Every structure is written in C-alpha cells, then in structure tokens.
C-alpha cells in the first residue's frame, strides 16, 4: 500500500497546490480548515473524548439566486451511552445540509485533535457517497492543521451509490418477468 503524504498546513505553496488540484480557492481552504477545527468545540463526546468537526463546502453554482455566496455547513460528532447510536461529524453536517435543501457539495473537511489526520469512517464514507461525486475532495486535518486530501473515489473504491440501483420501475418489471 502506498504511504499517505501528510501536507504542511502552514506552507502557502503546498496549500495553493492542493487548492489548484481540487478546484477550490485558498480562501475556501482556509474557511474549511478553520470552520472544521472550530466545529470540534461543539462535539458531544463524553465517552471517547475524541472530538471531530466537519465542514461542507456547498456547491452554489446551480443556484437560481445570482447573489448566492459561498456556503458552509458544519457538524460535530454526537456520542450516546449506547455507542452504536452516536453520530459522526460528517453525517451530522450532511444531514443538516440535506434538511436545509442543500444536496451538492464541492469539498468536505474533517478535523480531529490527533496526528496523523483521521479519515472518515466507513459508514461516513458511504454516507458521503450518497451526496457527493467521486472527484469530491475530502480534506482531513490533524491537531496542528497539517492535512491529507483524497478524492471520494480514493476513499471508497468500488462504492455502492445511488447510480448502482436500478430504477423502481425496472425492479418491478424484473420481478414480473420472473413470475
């Protein structure tokens, strides 16, 4: 397996290269980094003490509103005494966005208090797949602001997504053909 490269989050040239490669501005990168780091403070994690913050960069390019500005949606992990019931920061952010009518995203940032940066868990990767295209960059920040960036396709190869399902009409027709 290839070694993951951790990028220096305080080097403007490294940041500029990452931004160019993933079609976001350095200002958007800075907002993703600072907002996801700040979102950690809202985490409810009394059992693990593992704070996670996530921020979505909303795609406003298809907005009918010509004054649409860059939008961000934050989330933090919310634990529960019944551990499997807890919700990860990425799913909190995506759920908040979706119920607000926002369903297309240009980038996602995840911040933790550890080094090296942590990636979204498997369940979150699948959840991200529901709403993001394969080229969507996921920026993963460590406690010092250093980062790894990978596209969704790299984090979830051979994924199962909405386009994997036949239409309900096709499924019903296939069932009828078997009778």
82 is in an annotated binding site: yes
- Is the distance from CB of 33 to CB of 141 less than 8 angstroms? yes
* pTM, full prediction: 0.90
The residue to which tokens 């911040």 are assigned: 111
Reported as a single tens digit per residue, the pLDDT across 16-63 is 999 999 999 999 999 999 999 999 999 999 999 999 999 999 998 875
Residues catalogued as catalytic: 90
* CATH number of the structural domain 12-178: 3.40.140.10
User: For residue 131, how many other CB atoms are within 10 A of its CB?
Assistant: 19
Hey, where are the domains in the chain?
12-178
**Residue ranges with strand state E in the chain:** 52-58, 71-76, 105-112, 137-141, 147-151
What sign does the CA torsion over 47, 95, 110, 137 have? positive
Reported as a single tens digit per residue, the pLDDT across 83-98 is 889 999 999 999 999 9
| pLDDT at 1 exceeding the cut of 60 | no
> Cα–chain-centroid distance for residue 36?
10
61 is in an annotated binding site: no
97 is in an annotated binding site: no
Q: Is 29 left (phi over 0), alpha (psi -120 to 50) or beta?
A: alpha
């Amino acid at each position: 397996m290839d070694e993951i490269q951790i990028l220096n989050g305080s080097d403007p040239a490294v940041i500029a290269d990452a931004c160019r490669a993933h079609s976001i501005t350095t200002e958007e990168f800075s907002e993703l980094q600072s907002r996801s780091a700040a979102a950690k403070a809202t985490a409810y994690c009394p059992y693990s003490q593992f704070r996670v913050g996530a921020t979505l960069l909303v795609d406003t390019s298809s907005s009918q509103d010509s004054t649409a500005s860059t939008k961000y949606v934050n989330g933090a992990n919310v634990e529960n005494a019944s551990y499997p019931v807890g919700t990860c920061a990425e799913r909190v952010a995506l759920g908040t966005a979706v119920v607000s009518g926002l369903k297309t995203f240009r980038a996602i940032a995840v911040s933790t208090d550890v080094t090296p940066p942590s990636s979204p868990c498997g369940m979150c990767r699948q959840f991200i797949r529901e709403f993001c295209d394969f080229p969507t960059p996921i920026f993963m920040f460590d406690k010092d602001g250093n980062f790894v960036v990978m596209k969704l396709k790299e984090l979830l190869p051979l994924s199962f997504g909405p386009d994997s399902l036949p239409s309900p009409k096709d499924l019903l027709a296939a069932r009828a053909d078997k009778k």
